[in-house]
């Protein structure tokens, strides 16, 4: 299991990319597995946790790192949107990337927290009013190390949405 604290250190030292362990994985199965790991917590918080996989999608990514980023996004959604639905969807984006989107119906994310997604590896986030702020920053760094990106936005209908984009490679077991 990958430890976020270890990855934090690897990002700062520039060693994260060298420590990746890509393997062929089907994104939908991985997403469903991570969602199931969070289902009990969601129920305890009164959140309806939905999961949709739009198609079978294979790629070569570090499964532990994808799991780490998705778990962080899910934990944030469950904390900031208690008693509201949280939806996780895996799909192919218009720019041919594998995507995992986590949407909640809680309060929308603030500008300061959205900027954490654009910060580079040497711009360590400062503590925010809503949390330490390292989770989004670390998720963005991990996504970049895998050749992808992490984007966030406010939803027009309320809440926030975060999308992890991962490059598609021909990977089939």
Domain of 113, CATH number, reads 3.30.565.10
The pLDDT tens digits for 29-40 are 999 999 999 999
Q: Residue 96's domain spans which residues?
A: 4-167
Q: Is 133 part of a structural domain of the chain?
A: yes
Most confident of 4-18, 24-38, 75-89: 24-38
Number of folded domains in the chain? 1
Higher per-residue pLDDT: 129 or 64: 64
Give the model's pLDDT for residue 88.
Answer: 94
- Nearest 5°: the CA angle 49, 102, 60 is 115
Give the model's pLDDT for residue 21.
Answer: 85
Measured CA to CA, the distance from residue 73 to residue 68 in angstroms comes to: 9
Torsion of CA 28, 147, 162, 91, to 10 degrees: -30
CB-side neighbour CA atoms (13 Å) of 118: 6
The pLDDT tens digits for 98-133 are 999 999 988 776 666 666 555 554 444 444 444 445
CB-side neighbour CA atoms (13 Å) of 42: 22
Q: Poorest-confidence range of 21-30, 87-96, 115-124?
A: 115-124
Q: Residue 92 is encoded by which pair of tokens?
A: 């192919």
Contacts of 13 (CB under 8 A, 6+ apart): none
Q: Is 172 part of a structural domain of the chain?
A: no
Q: What percent of the chain has pLDDT over 90?
A: 36
């Amino acid at each position: 299991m990958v430890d976020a604290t270890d990855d934090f250190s690897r990002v700062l030292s520039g060693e994260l990319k060298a420590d990746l362990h890509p393997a062929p994985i089907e994104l939908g199965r991985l997403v469903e597995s991570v969602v199931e790991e969070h289902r009990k917590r969601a129920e305890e918080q009164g959140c309806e946790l939905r999961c949709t996989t739009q198609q079978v999608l294979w790629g070569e990514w570090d499964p532990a790192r994808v799991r780490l980023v998705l778990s962080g996004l899910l934990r944030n959604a469950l904390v900031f949107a208690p008693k509201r639905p949280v939806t996780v969807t895996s799909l192919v984006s218009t720019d041919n990337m594998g995507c995992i989107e986590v949407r909640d119906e809680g309060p929308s994310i603030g500008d300061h927290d959205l900027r954490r997604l654009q910060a580079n590896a040497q711009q360590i986030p400062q503590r925010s009013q809503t949390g330490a702020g390292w989770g989004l920053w670390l998720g963005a760094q991990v996504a970049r190390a895998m050749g992808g990106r992490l984007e966030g936005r406010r939803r027009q209908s309320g809440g926030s949405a975060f999308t992890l984009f991962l490059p598609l490679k021909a990977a089939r077991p």
